[in-house]
């Protein structure tokens, strides 16, 4: 097994999200200012499965996008050397070309990948993809910005 670049304890220090909204379990690859690869283990205990859908549980696409955004935020925080506090967050500012290619079900391991496409004027654009067993589940271009909040 590969030693994680960021384990859950380090992720909790980097992202403000908490259960049930923290959607990244581990970072397994990282290249500063270039790319990141992370994991989300999808279990039947996820709170959304009770209603989406009771007869055939499927992870909502919007939550796959959120998991990709959290992965991109980790790339930003790790690359910039910024130690986020409670006053720093990464906000979505746009989503382009979102496509959903396969359902994600309990027991799947979602591999989350984000690569920095460009950074200009405080706006970061990422190419992102989520896969299960090498098969694309979701892909999108995400735009985010890092802001101090008071």
Query: What residues are annotated to the active site?
Result: 52
CA distance 112 to 138: 9
CA distance 77 to 64: 20
The answer to whether residues 148 and 84 touch, using CB atoms and an 8 Å cutoff, is: no
Question: 24 CB contacts (<8 Å, ≥6 apart)?
Answer: 11, 15, 38, 39, 40, 67, 70, 71, 74, 112
Question: 142 CB contacts (<8 Å, ≥6 apart)?
Answer: 65, 68, 69, 72, 92, 94, 95, 114, 125, 126, 128
């Amino acid at each position: 097994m590969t030693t994680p670049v960021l384990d859950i304890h380090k992720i909790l220090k980097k992202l403000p999200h908490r259960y049930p909204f923290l959607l990244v379990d581990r970072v397994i690859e990282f290249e500063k200012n270039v790319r990141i690869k992370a994991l989300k283990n999808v279990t039947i205990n996820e709170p959304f499965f009770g209603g989406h859908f009771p007869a055939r549980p499927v992870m909502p696409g919007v939550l796959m996008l959120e998991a990709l955004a959290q992965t991109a935020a980790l790339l930003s925080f790790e690359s910039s050397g910024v130690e986020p506090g409670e006053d720093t967050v990464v906000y979505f500012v746009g989503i382009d070309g979102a496509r959903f290619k396969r359902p994600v079900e309990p027991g799947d391991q979602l591999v989350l990948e984000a690569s920095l496409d460009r950074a200009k004027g405080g706006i970061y654009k990422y190419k992102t993809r989520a896969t299960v067993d090498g098969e694309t589940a979701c892909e999108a271009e995400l735009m985010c910005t890092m802001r101090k909040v008071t």
